[in-house]
Amino acid sequence: MKRALTPGTFDPITSGHIEIISRASRIFDEVIVAVAASPKKQPLFSLDERVALAREALKGMPNVRVEPFCGLLVDFAREMDAHVAVKGLRAITDFEYEFQQTALNYQLDPHLETIFIMSSPEYMYLSSSVVREIASFKGDVAQFVPSCVNDALKAKFA
Ligand code: PNS
């Protein structure tokens, strides 16, 4: 069984994330969406909220499950018996950060391979942070996120 992780903070999950997860789910037998606690990023949504929103958004994908994790990605991957991490790559600006993460993770555990899926042009400039910013000013983010996230953002910024 080929199992992959798609790690991220998912604060909140967007249509761009969902596209990458969906494409990964067609390549691997099982995909675990690994929602990082990421306390240093001071997320808008709690870890439980981010997990619940991701589960709701992905409930139509039978070989995808969502799990929270604290600590190092390489440790969580070992715990889950996953040897591949799949990341989405958007504009070229993502590259340096992802390059660093991949190199460090490889040094920490060479058994964890990181591979990248290029975002489709539609989602190339979409990120959780721009979604949060637009929503914070009461802008319409319905085209960028699943409806459960849209509702959660409206409630957060009401
Ligand atoms: O969606 P993000 O915030 O870009 O995802 C980053 C994430 C969560 C994948 C990354 O910060 C991570 O793997 N965090 C877990 C802690 C860890 O393993 N850090 C060392 C990576 S070099």
pLDDT digits (tens, 9 = 90+) for 56-91: 999 999 999 999 999 999 999 999 999 999 999 998
* 68 upstream amide cis, omega within 30 of 0: no
3-state secondary structure of 8: strand
Question: Is 128 a residue of the active site?
Answer: yes
What's the CA-to-centroid distance between 83 and ligand 1, angstroms? Answer: 16
Phi, psi of 29, deg, nearest 5: -70, -40
Report CA-CA distances (Å) from 156 to 24, 131, 142: 30, 13, 15
User: How many alpha carbons lie under 13 Å from residue 36 in its C-beta half-sphere?
Assistant: 16
Segment 117-151, tens digit of pLDDT: 999 999 999 999 999 999 999 999 999 999 999 99
Residue 152 and residue 116: Cα distance in Å, rounded?
A: 29
Cβ–ligand 1 distance for 105 under 6 Å, the answer yes
Residue 92's pLDDT band (cuts 50, 70, 90): confident
- Residue among 17, 50, 87, 132 flagged as catalytic: 17
- Residue among 25, 50, 87, 90 flagged as catalytic: 90
What's the CA-to-centroid distance between 1 and ligand 1, angstroms? Answer: 25
Best mutation site among 6, 9, 20, 70 for ligand 1 pocket (most ligand atoms within 8 Å of CB)? 9
Q: Which residues fall within 8 angstroms of residue 111, CB to CB, at 6 or more apart? A: 78, 83
Residue 56 and residue 60: Cα distance in Å, rounded?
A: 9
Question: Is 26 a residue of the active site?
Answer: no
Q: What pLDDT was estimated at residue 91?
A: 80
What single-letter amino acid sits at 34?
A: A
Q: Name which residue sits closest to atom 6 of ligand 1, judged by CA.
A: 8
3-state secondary structure of 87: strand
Helix (H) or strand (E) holding 116, with range, is strand 113-118
Joined together, the tokens standing for residue 54 give 């991701």
Alpha carbon dihedral 9, 96, 105, 1, in 10-degree steps, equals 70
Q: Name which residue sits closest to atom 2 of ligand 1, judged by CA.
A: 8
Bridge-based pairing state of the strands 84-89 and 64-69: unpaired
Which pTM value belongs to this model? 0.97
Q: Name which residue sits closest to atom 19 of ligand 1, judged by CA.
A: 72
